[in-house]
A and B are shown apart, each in its own frame.
Chain A
Amino acid sequence: MDTEKFLSIFKDIDSAALLEIGIVIVLSWVVIWCSQKLLPMLADHFHGKQRLFVLALIPTVRVVVLIAAIVWVIPLIIEPSARNMVAIIGAAGLAIGFALKDYVSSVVAGVVAVYEVPYRPGDWICVEGTYGEVKHIGMRAVEIVTPDDTVVFIPHMKLWSALIHNANNGGPSLMCVADFYLHPEHDANQVKHLLEDVALTSPYVQLAKPIVVVSNEEPWGTHYKLKAYPIDPRQQFQFLTDLTARGKSCLRALPVSFARLSPEHAAQLNP
Chain B
Amino acid sequence: MAPHNHWQLIALDDFERPSAPASTMVQKTWLRLQNMLGLTRDEDATPEEQDFPHYREFDLEPGVAAVEQAWEDSDSAPSVRFVVSPPFSGSGAILRAWAKKHGYQQLDLPDKEQLQSAETQSWWKPQQCERWLLDEFSSFWLRTTSHMQFIRALLPRLLRGELGQGVVVVDSWTFAFLQRAWPLSLPHCYCFAAATPELLRQVGIEASDKVLRKLNAKARGNVAVALALWALEQESERTSPQMPSEADDGTAFILYALLLHHGLKGEHLQLVLPMLAPDQLDVQLLRLQQNGVIEFDDDNVWRVTVYAYVDVRDFLAGRGYWLDAF
Query: Interface of A with B (CB < 8 Å)?
Result: 42, 45-50, 172, 194, 197-198, 200-201, 203, 206-208, 231-232, 235, 238, 241-242, 245-246, 250
Contact = CB atoms under 8 A, between A and B. Distances in A.
Contacts of A207: 177, 180, 322
B322 A47 contact: no
A203 B316 CA distance: 13
Interface hub of A47, A232, A241, A245 (most chain B Cβ within 10 A): A47
A45 B35 CA distance: 9
Interface string B128-159: 00000000000000011100110000000000
B275 interface: yes
Given A42-B36, A200-B181, A246-B274, A208 B322 contact: yes
B52 interface: no
A235 B320 CA distance: 13
Contacts of A197: 145, 148-149
Contacts of B321: 231
Interface hub of B145, B148, B318 (most chain A Cβ within 10 A): B145
B180 A232 contact: no
A259 to B, nearest CB: 21
B189 interface: no
A198 B145 contact: yes
Interface string B251-268: 001001100000000000
A141 B273 CA distance: 40
Contact of B256 (A198, A203, A206, A208): A203
B48 interface: no
A46 B322 CA distance: 17
A242 B272 CA distance: 12
B275 A238 contact: yes
Contact of A203 (B35, B148, B272, B320): B272
Q: Is the interface on chain B under 10, 10 to 19, 20 to 34, or 35 or more residues?
A: 20 to 34
B145 A206 contact: no
A203 B177 contact: no
A47 B145 contact: no
A232 B253 contact: no
Contacts of B145: 194, 197-198, 201, 246, 250
Contact of B275 (A201, A206, A231, A241): A241
A245 B274 CA distance: 10
Q: Which 10 A-B pairs have the closest CB atoms?
A: A207-B322, A48-B320, A203-B253, A197-B145, A45-B36, A207-B180, A47-B319, A201-B143, A197-B148, A250-B145
A201 B144 contact: yes
Contacts of A48: 319-320
Contacts of B237: none
Contacts of A42: 36
Nearest to B256: A203
A224 to B, nearest CB: 15
Contacts of B274: 245-246
Nearest to B176: A207
A242 B275 contact: yes
22 contacts: A42-B36, A45-B35, A45-B36, A47-B318, A47-B319, A49-B320, A198-B145, A200-B181, A201-B145, A203-B257, A203-B272, A203-B273, A203-B275, A206-B320, A207-B177, A231-B320, A231-B321, A232-B249, A232-B319, A235-B249, A242-B275, A246-B274
Interface string B179-194: 0110000000000000
A45 B29 CA distance: 13
Given A201-B144, A245-B274, 20 more contacts: A42-B36, A46-B318, A47-B319, A49-B320, A172-B320, A194-B145, A198-B145, A201-B143, A201-B145, A206-B320, A206-B322, A207-B177, A207-B180, A208-B180, A208-B322, A232-B249, A232-B320, A235-B249, A238-B275, A242-B275
Contacts of B319: 47-48, 231-232
B325 to A, nearest CB: 13
A229 to B, nearest CB: 10
